[in-house]
Amino acid sequence: MTEREKIAGGLERAQGAGVIDEVIEPARTRGAIALAIAEAVPARGAHGDIPV
């Protein structure tokens, strides 16, 4: 355990506190990002207007 992990708490503490949603393996990063973008709600202005 590094000094920073001793002070900040590390991955397990972050997961327990709900700071992170999931841990993604490096080989799955590109697919996870693509999926998140595909599932994201399209952005709209404060009044429902489509951004120009």
Q: What is the pLDDT of residue 49?
A: 65
Q: What is the pLDDT of residue 52?
A: 67
Alpha-helical runs (H) found in 1-52: 3-8, 10-17, 29-39
Give the chain's residues under pLDDT 70.
44-52
Widest CA span of the chain, in angstroms? Answer: 50
- Of 43, 24, 21, the closest CA to residue 33 belongs to 24
pTM (two decimals): 0.52
CA quadruple 26, 28, 33, 13: dihedral, nearest 10: -60
